[in-house]
Amino acid sequence: MSTNSHDNTVPAGYWQDAKGVLIPDAMVKPIDKERDALVKDIVARARPLHEALRDFKHRAFVDIQALIDLSIEQYGVKCGGRKGNVTLYSFDGHYKVIRALQDRITFDERIQAAKALIDDCMTEWTQNARPELLAIIDQAFSTDKNGDINPARILQLRRHDITDPRWLRAMDALAEVVQVVSSKSYIRLYERIDETGQYRPLSLDIARV
């Protein structure tokens, strides 16, 4: 059995390339064998680290939620779900742990109706509207190279203090068309630098170690 294979169907004396073609061992260059061995050795060492990080993240979330539940119980209230970011400090303030939850949002087809209402406002306001407001609206509905609208820019429109009934209807429409399509969760760890009092991250990202 060739050592290059992770599939038991590869017969002894052969290597299977990326296209699934069987190559006789004698035709595989030594440098290709060395590269294969190195890559698979690195992956083999990384796999338990990956599993450990995944287990650490899961246990950290469970433990943090358990602490939150315990704190809430002391006040005789209940809190559904695990929404919201939470920051925890060690007693001496030397360490900080942040649980961050981030939703990825998009809009359904009714976003076009909201835009039509806003366009109606813009048509009437063109003569007197502030140029920066017009630019903000144009930028908000601009799309990226994939044709997607940036939800953050759209939702920022709701911050403007405009009382026109059509604008208010458009803002209500924006609130209704938001859809949460996925959520990501993070655990961030920090250690305080005594000399400055600032916190530096304890990175679990291999690119930042």
- Where are the domains positioned within the chain? 1-82, 84-209
Whether pTM exceeds 0.75: no
Specify the 3-state DSSP secondary structure of 194.
coil
**Region 161-175 average pLDDT:** 80
> How confident is residue 204, by pLDDT bands cut at 50, 70 and 90?
confident
Token representation of residue 91? 């007693």
Distance CA 69, CA 79 (A): 8
Round to whole Å and give the CA distance between 14 and 3.
9
Tell me which of 56 and 162 has the higher pLDDT. Answer: 56
Query: Residue range 126-150: average pLDDT?
Result: 69
User: pLDDT tens-digit profile of 27-52?
Assistant: 999 999 999 999 999 999 999 999 99
Structure-model confidence comparison of residues 86 and 123, the more confident one: 86
pLDDT reading at 175 higher than 90: no
DSSP E strands in the chain: the ranges are 14-16, 22-24, 86-89, 95-107, 178-192, 199-201
Tokens 């306001």 correspond to what residue?
125
CB-neighbour burial class of residue 66 (10 A; exposed 0-12, middle 13-18, buried 19+) = exposed
Write out the two tokens for 31.
């440098």
Residues in the chain: 209
